[in-house]
Amino acid sequence: MKKYLLILLSATALFMTSCYKRRDCCVLPKRDAFIMAEKSGVQWEGIPTTTVFSQDTINVYAGNFKTGLEENFGFLIKASTTAISYPLKGNQAYYFNTVGRDVSVSGYKLDDTFTNQVTVTSYDQSTKTVTGTFQMKFIKTYDNPTGSYPDKVSFLNGKFKAVLPN
């Protein structure tokens, strides 16, 4: 019995002191890239990824799989070294839900009655980092099963910082 008690106390002491000297072991690393907004009134965020959509257009997209609902959100911006603000129309932004990260169960299109907009506020050529803001509203185009997803979704007061591909 004393042997088991000694092993338990030793393991507890080792566990309790493992982070003692390293003050940063329990601190999450600082993220350089982010995408966040108020999604239908609730704070939403993801870690953006970028790809080249065509020669001068960048696709900034993020997934949020924390809530159990697999969400995919993205928009297209022009690769530019100057600050620019422009409206989004048609397929220049998207939002959809998936199951198993590959089966789409809902889809949304931009709401044409709202001024959907992305503003690129800065571009750092040395780090290839672009920052900006956005406002978008979407209308449901399909869902499966029918009626299981909201008819409208908004991403308001959005901010992003993304690293452009090489």
88 close to 118: Cβ distance less than 8 angstroms: yes
Neighbours of 80 (CB within 10 A): 13
Listed as ranges, residues in the chain with pLDDT below 70 are: 1-31, 53, 67, 79-81
DSSP 49: E
Q: Indicate left, alpha or beta for 68 from its phi (over 0: left) and psi (-120 to 50: alpha).
A: left
The strand pair at 93-99 and 70-78 is best described as antiparallel
What is the predicted pLDDT for the residue at 38? 96
Pairing outcome for strands 42-46 and 49-54? unpaired
Q: How far from chain centre, in Å, is Cα 125?
A: 22
Going from N- to C-terminal start, the domains of the chain cover 27-163
Task: List the structure tokens of 80.
Answer: 């530019």
Question: Could you give the percent of the chain with pLDDT greater than 70?
Answer: 78
